[in-house]
Amino acid sequence: MEWMTDCDKFQEAIEAEKTYLSSLTHSMSLVLDEFYQTLQGVGVSAVTGDGIDDFFAAVDKAAEEYDTTYKPELERKIAECAAADQERQAAQVEAMKRDVEESAGGDVVLDYVRGSGVQDAELEEEDEEEEEIAADELAKVQALVGEGK
């Protein structure tokens, strides 16, 4: 715990050894010092269990901080992203409508299933053609079944 809160104590412990690893650790300790300044630490003995109550109190405090500080901010950002996505999609639909209207020169109905714009008369004509094709196919199948094929 002392090394986490006092960079100088950690440096003194490292300077006791003169190896490549101690030199690397010395450099990294400067980064860790910044990291540990905002981190809440609790010492717990693995042998005696001393400090375990402090540990659980720190966990409860961290959970409360998450619920009051981080979670609302996260939810706000998620809502902002969803709203931005909806705005972008609406703008794309409007742009597509304008493009189709300009190229078709008339009233346009967007066919969301196909993802393209088609004039009303063309849409009805396509539906009639599809029904005729389906009826022809059904008649062929019935004829084959009737012949025993």
- Domain shared by 54 and 112, yes or no: yes
pLDDT (mean) for 13-26: 71
Contact assessment for residue 99 and residue 78, using Cβ atoms and an 8 Å cutoff: no
What is the pLDDT at residue 112? Answer: 54
- Domain shared by 112 and 123, yes or no: no
What is the pLDDT at residue 113? Answer: 52
pLDDT (mean) for 123-136: 76
Q: What percent of the chain has pLDDT over 70?
A: 72
Contact assessment for residue 108 and residue 119, using Cβ atoms and an 8 Å cutoff: yes
- Domain shared by 60 and 106, yes or no: yes
- Domain shared by 100 and 61, yes or no: yes
Q: Which tops the pLDDT comparison, 26 or 60?
A: 60
Give per-residue pLDDT as tens, 27-61: 777 777 777 777 888 889 999 999 999 999 999 99
Structural domains in the chain (count):
3
- Domain shared by 17 and 69, yes or no: no
- Domain shared by 113 and 124, yes or no: no
Which residues span the domain enclosing 10? 1-39
CA dihedral (7, 13, 18, 21) positive or negative: negative
Reported as half-sphere exposure (CB side, CA atoms, 13 A), residue 30 has a value of 4
Q: How far is CA 11 from CA 4, 18, 29, 41, 49, in A?
A: 11, 12, 8, 19, 28
How many other C-beta atoms lie within 10 A of the C-beta of residue 117?
19
Write down the mean pLDDT value for the chain: 78
Instruction: Look at residues 93, 91, 119, 92 and name the one whose alpha carbon lies nearest to residue 105.
Output: 119
Contact assessment for residue 91 and residue 75, using Cβ atoms and an 8 Å cutoff: no
How big is the chain by its Cα radius of gyration, in Å? Answer: 35
Confidence class for position 142, pLDDT limits 50, 70, 90: confident
